[in-house]
Amino acid sequence: MTEILSLDTIKIQAAVESKEDAIRKAGELLVASGCVNPEYVEGMLAREQTMSTYIGNGVSIPHGQFGDLQQVNRTGISVLQVPAGIEWEDGEKAYLIVGIAATGDEHIMVLQNLAEVVEDEDTAQLLATTTDPAVILENLNKPIQAEEDDD
């Protein structure tokens, strides 16, 4: 099992100027932690041009495209908390920007973990407003493990 989030990849109370700035900052957290090479951030920006990564409840999940996988060193996520929010789509603000880097099919489990947490409006609100990065860590750092058939 691999932990996908650490206090080093969480930035709370961030200020951003634009959606692109938010994606860049989330990507820079992944670069600084060694999850991805710097080129991956450009892939995150390119992906947003073709398809929005906003998933609702004030959460966006920017990630690279298939062609960017060679820039991923290990699976991980970063969390950029923007209490003021940033307009992601018309009329939709993102308060949590969760950068995703995944090797192989691990991204599917990462997305499942995130979806479970953020579909709960109260949890999404808590993560968007907490001043304690440990709260984000506790809620989002579910270990990645192989799928089991006995569900």
Question: Is it the case that residue 150 has pLDDT exceeding 80?
Answer: no
CA distance 100 to 110: 8
Q: What is the pTM of this model?
A: 0.89
The predicted structure's pLDDT at residue 148: 43
Determine the pLDDT at residue 2: 62
pLDDT of residue 101: 93
Q: What is the mean pLDDT of residues 77-101?
A: 95
> In this structure, which topology does domain 7-140 adopt according to CATH?
Mannitol-specific EII; Chain A (3.40.930)
Per-chain mean pLDDT for the chain: 89
Cα separations in angstroms, 52 against 57, 95, 141: 14, 15, 24
The three-class DSSP label of residue 139 is helix
- Predicted confidence (pLDDT) per residue in 43-59, tens digit: 999 999 999 999 989 99
Given the DSSP bridges, would you call strands 59-60 and 92-101 parallel, antiparallel or unpaired?
parallel
How does residue 149 score in pLDDT terms, banded at 50, 70 and 90? very low
pLDDT at 151: 41
Sign of CA dihedral 79, 61, 108, 138: positive
Confidence of residue 89 (pLDDT cuts 50, 70, 90): very high
